[in-house]
Structures are given as C-alpha cells and as structure tokens.
Amino acid sequence: MRGVRRSRWSAGNGQGTPRPWRALAWWLWLGLAAAFAAAAQAPTAFEDDSATALVFQRALAVAGEGSAFPEAEPATQVPLPDEWSDSRPDFKGSLWYRISLPAGLKAPEGDLLALYIARVCTNYEVFLNGQRIGSGGRLREPMTQQCHHPQLVTLPAALLREEGNLLDLRVVGRRLAEVGSAHRAGALSELVIGPQAQLAARHTRQSAIAAGFAQGASATLLLLGGFMFVLGYVNRRESQLAYFGVLSVGVALFDARLWLRDLPFGQPVLEFLLLSLLGVITWATVQFILRAQGRRLDWVDIGLPLQSATIAVSLMAGGTERLHLLALFWYGIFALEIGAALWLLWRLRARHGGGRLTLLVLACLGAAVGLDLLASGSPGDAWGTVGAGVALPVLLVTVGLRLVLRHGQARAEAEAHRAQLEETKVQLEQRVREATAEIERNLRQMAEHKAEQVAEKERKRIAADLHDDLGAKLLTIVHTSESDRISTLAREALEEMRLSVRGLTGRPVRLADAMGDWRAETVSRLAQAGIEGDWKSPEEAPQMLSSRAYVQTTRILREATSNIIKHSGASHCSVRCATTSDNDFQLVIQDNGDGISSQEVEARLDRGHGLASMKNRAKQLQGQCLVESGPGYGTVIRLTLPLDRATTGS
C-alpha cells in the first residue's frame, strides 16, 4: 500500500500523529492515570472509616490442618500483611491466623459487622468463636484462586460475645518455589473489621479495580484479537495484523488470571500455561514488529517457535520444585528479547522514520512484564500486576482500533485507485481505437501517393511525423461536437498528411518557392484570425532546400502561427526571412501579444509539445530554434538552419 497516497490518519509511518488520534490517546492516558491513582490510594486509605473500623496489623500464626485452630501447637505473633514468600518461602499448606476482638464490640444500629480482607492467597476459611462463617471456595486442588480478589465476610451478631471474641482464619497457600511470581504464593493482608455498609462500598470499589476492569478489558481484547487475526489471515500481505491478533488474544488469556477464580486444573498446570503464554506473546510481538516494518527473518521464524517448545520442555524437566527459578529465568529472557526489539525498532525508526505504533505496543508489553517481575521481587504490592492487567489491554485495544482504521482507509484508497485505473484504461483504449482508425485511413491515402518500394523504408519516419502533428488534431476532433469545425480540422489533418508525403518524395525545393508557399499560407491564416500579417523575405534566393528541410520548416512555421492565433491575443505579427554570409537561413517570427513568462516557457518545453516540438525539429536539421518572451512583451521565435546541410538533406 505504499504506492497509495498517505493520509494523516496513517500514522506509524513517519507522518506524525493526527490531532483526533492524539486527543483520544491523551484522554485514554488521563483516564488510566486517574484510575491507577485511585487504585494506589484505595488499598491503604481508610480515612472515612477510621472512626468506626478496626485495623489489625498483627496476629497469632500457627501451621495446622483440620477445621479448628490448633490450640495445642505453639503460635507466634506475626505482622500483617504476611507475605509467605518473605516470611516462610518454603511453607506450603494451611496456616492459621488468630486475632482477639475487643469486648463489647457491636455494630451500629441497623447494621452488621463485617471482616474486610484486601488480599488473601490462595484461599481461606473464617471462624468466629469456633464457628465457620465464611469461605473462599475449594480448599483442595484445584483450589479456588482468590489472590486478586478482596473478600468481605459478615460477622453474625448471634455469635458475638460481650466478654470478647476470637476470629480465626485458615489460609491455604503455596511455597515460593511452586509459583512463577511471588504474589501468587501464600499471603494475608491486614484485617479490617467495621460496619458492613462501609466495608461493602470499599469491597465493591476494590473488586471493580482488581478484577472487574481487567475482565472487561480482556473480553474486549479477546474479541478484537480474534477479529484482527482473521483479518490478517485473509489478507496475507498484511500478516502483521494476524500477529497482532495473536498478541492480543495471548494478553487477554494471560490477564484472565486476575479475574478467574475456579479453574478445572491445579496450580502447576496454571503456572505452566502462564509461562507458555508469555512465550507466545513474545513470539507474536517480535513478528508483529518485523512484519510491520516489511521485514521477515528466517532465523526468527524458526527460533521463536523453538523457544516456546523449549519453555515447555524446561518446565516439565524442572518440575514444580524449580518452577519459580525457571520462571525468573524465562522472564529475564523475555525482557531481553523485548529490550532488543525495542532497540531494533528505535534504530529502524531513526533510519526509516515511523515505528511509533509498534514502539508503544512494545513499551506496554515491557511494562507489563517488568511489573510482573517487580511483583516477584516485591510480593507485598500486587497492584502493579493488576495495573498492568488493566492498562495493557486498554492500550492494545486502542492500538488495534487504530490498525483497523488504517487498514480500512488503505483499502478504500486502493479501491479508489483501482477505479481510477479502470477509468483511465477505458479512455486509453478509446483513444487507441480512434488513433488507430485515423492512422489506417492516412496510411491508405499515403499508399496512393507513394510507391510500394519506398513505403516500407520510410514507414517509421512517416509514423513519427504523423504522431507529432496529428496527435493534437485527433484530440481536438474527440473533444468537439459535430459541426463545421470538425470538417475544417479534418482538412487540416489531410494537408498535414500530404505535407509528409511530399517530404517522402525526396525532391528538393527552391528556397524562393518555399518562402512563397510559406508566405501565402501564413498571411492567409493570420488574416482569417483577424491578425495583421507583415511578411518580408528576399526576392532572390537561389539556394535549394531538401524535401525534409522543407517539411520540417513548414511544420515549425505552422506550429508558431497556430500558437499566435490560439494563445497570444496579438493584433500584429511580422515574419522575417533572410540568408546570412555563413550560408544560414534565418526565420524570425514576432507578435505583439501577451507573451508568456520564462517559467511557463520551461514548463511547456518539459511537457514535450508545441515549443519543444519546434526545437526538436530544428535540432534534427542541425539548426536551432530560440524562444524569447515575457508578459506584455510578446513572443519572438528565431529559427536558424544551415543551408549546406538543409540542401543535402543530412
């Protein structure tokens, strides 16, 4: 599509970002910034609830199975949040937490008390005074995934005691070695107890940020990615669209971990799928960049699929005990590949221009992988991963929409160009038919005046002469209606043809006779156009002109006279003929018309008609034709021919 004129909406090609697209991008960035600012404040802000809510930042912790807090086991006090990847990286299974509620704890009138848990991973159970009051779902493999979902558990008023209450939580989690990122290991945030109405509003807000936004963005990205894949698959020349579709679908599936809770398989399979998906996403991203730049590398086509297969083999060989180390290794490889792709794209952009679109995609993908890596090193902050899960699909959706717009616009321009070519083809075919018919008629007339043995030898020269002068006449006939003008032009064409035939006879002409013919024709044409003609030529001119020189000079004089009649607006025209001591023949034609600028003279010469034709004819006779003109000055045409060559016809 690079032959089609680019519009301002085809950005990513070095033409700059259009204002409507720039405004849309700014609004998206501002909206995302506002959402992330709210998300960053929400997990820790409790200003509105501080008067009535209790925040617990310490708890007793003890390992144990069963359906009750293991009283017999020694418990230790731990701070909350408690990230297992830091406090107990090798622990796997159930860990009980206990907090003591103050005596006389009651809910406001007409409300209930509730427990708010900002983050618990992987799943949990809640007991109040030994009675089970809440659970996050399945506690055995495949367990329900609650790592990215805040929890709200109502505390039944009937179970609350005046003298004090014990709140026990059983958290089921995994050791660090079995997960790809640290924030998917076991964890428990600080606990908040307060009025249910207040905590329910916070729970709704955090659920929307942590899972709702990601779910909506991923669903949209999944639909768009499927559409882009089909579009690129159908249009093989734009295979970058198919790779962008694979990239979008891969990101949508990868971010499904943020909002899917109940999966039909366990954590090892989930980690295997997530890491494999990152390999596919990296593969699609690199291919999208290369194809968007019009490049295809065989070693990349082979190496990236092999890398995806290597990921699977390494995970199966390493087992669940080394999954975290393998994940960190592959995360580093992906980061290096994306960094190399960023560098390559920057170099291509600096060398060829463009690349902003793919640069944005890579930057977003790099940010997502970087946030996930940071989450592995800083497990207490899982909001970076949530933020990337929201931002990356939104940005990919906007980039995908832009690609669709650019593709649609390119298709529309291609269709318009194709229609224009078809119309031009029809016009050319019509002109060819008309020119062919006219040439056939002229050839039949020429055959009557020329012997058969000369016709074959001179055919190419005749065709060149007829093409130079009769082309304009034929175009005029095409664009005029049926009138006397048509018959006049037809007669002019016939005389041009006869002049060519006369040149083919090879008989030389006396210069004096030639000047007489030229004077009669020129003065007559000027008079018919209402222009006063003034002709001066020597009475005696014994020199001879070859038939070719006579024909070419006649054509130059006719072309000059036609230009004066049609374009100059002159009222007077003088023609001077003379021979010089150097045995040159000079013909000077001057009018008092409007004249033309030097730029217009050059433009007409470049177009290859009119003035250029006169110059070329003079050059064929080893002479020269000069044109002098200026606005308001008139036009002077000076033709100089060497009579020695003009006589011999060389």
pLDDT tens across 161-190, in order?
A: 888 899 999 999 988 888 887 778 899 999
Phi-psi region of 16 (alpha: psi -120 to 50; beta: other; left: phi over 0): left
> What is the per-residue pLDDT for 153?
94
Domain that holds residue 81: 54-206
Considering the domain architecture, whether residues 345 and 299 belong to the same structural domain is answered as yes
96 in any annotated domain: yes
pLDDT digits (tens, 9 = 90+) for 391-400: 677 777 777 7
Mean pLDDT of the chain: 77
Please report which confidence band the pLDDT of residue 498 belongs to, taking 50, 70 and 90 as the band edges: low
8-state DSSP, 568: I
Task: Return the amino acid letter for 556.
Answer: I
Please tell me whether the overall predicted TM-score, pTM, comes out greater than 0.75 for this model.
no
The whole-number pLDDT of residue 41 equals 44
Q: Can you give the CATH number for the domain in which 593 is found?
A: 3.30.565.10
Q: For strand 120-121 and strand 93-101, is the pairing parallel, antiparallel, or unpaired?
A: unpaired
Domain boundary among 206, 236, 251: 206
Alpha carbon separation from 114 to 136, 150, 554, 566 (Å, rounded): 15, 13, 109, 98
CB neighbour class for 308 (10 Å; exposed up to 12, middle 13-18, buried from 19): middle
Look at residue 262 in the predicted model and tell me its pLDDT. 83
Q: Which of 523, 615, 605, 606 has its CA nearest to residue 561?
A: 523
What is the pLDDT at residue 247? Answer: 86
For the cut 80, the answer to whether the pLDDT of residue 401 exceeds it is no
Q: Under a CB-based contact definition with an 8 Å cutoff, are residues 126 and 156 in contact?
A: no
- If one counts the domains in the chain, the total is 3
The reported pLDDT for the residue numbered 57 is 93
Structure-token pair, residue 211: 């899972």
* Residue at 411 is within a domain: yes
Last residue of a domain, one of 416, 446, 463: 416
Give 50-61 pLDDT, tens digit per residue: 447 899 999 999
Q: Indicate the length of the chain as a whole number.
A: 650
Query: End-to-end alpha-carbon separation of the chain, Å?
Result: 51
Which of 193-197, 263-267, 366-370, 408-412 holds the top average pLDDT? 193-197
Q: Order of strands, edge to edge, in the sheet holding 532-536?
A: 532-536, 572-579, 584-591, 634-642, 624-630
Q: How confident is the model at residue 76 (pLDDT cuts 50, 70, 90)?
A: very high
The Cβ of residue 168 has, within 10 Å, a number of other Cβ atoms equal to 20
Please say whether the beta carbons of 258 and 386 come within 8 A: yes
**pLDDT above 90: percentage of residues in the chain:** 15
Instruction: Examine the domain organization and report whether 360 and 220 are in the same domain.
Output: yes
Residue 1 in any domain: the answer is no
Last residue of a domain, one of 375, 390, 416: 416
In a domain, 138, yes or no: yes
**Which of 86-95, 116-125, 265-274, 617-626 has the lowest average pLDDT?**
265-274
**What are the φ/ψ torsions at residue 151 (nearest 5 degrees)?**
-120, 145
302 occurs within a structural domain: yes
Do 123 and 249 sit in the same domain of this protein?
A: no
Task: Give residue 124's pLDDT band: very low, low, confident or very high (50, 70, 90).
Answer: very high
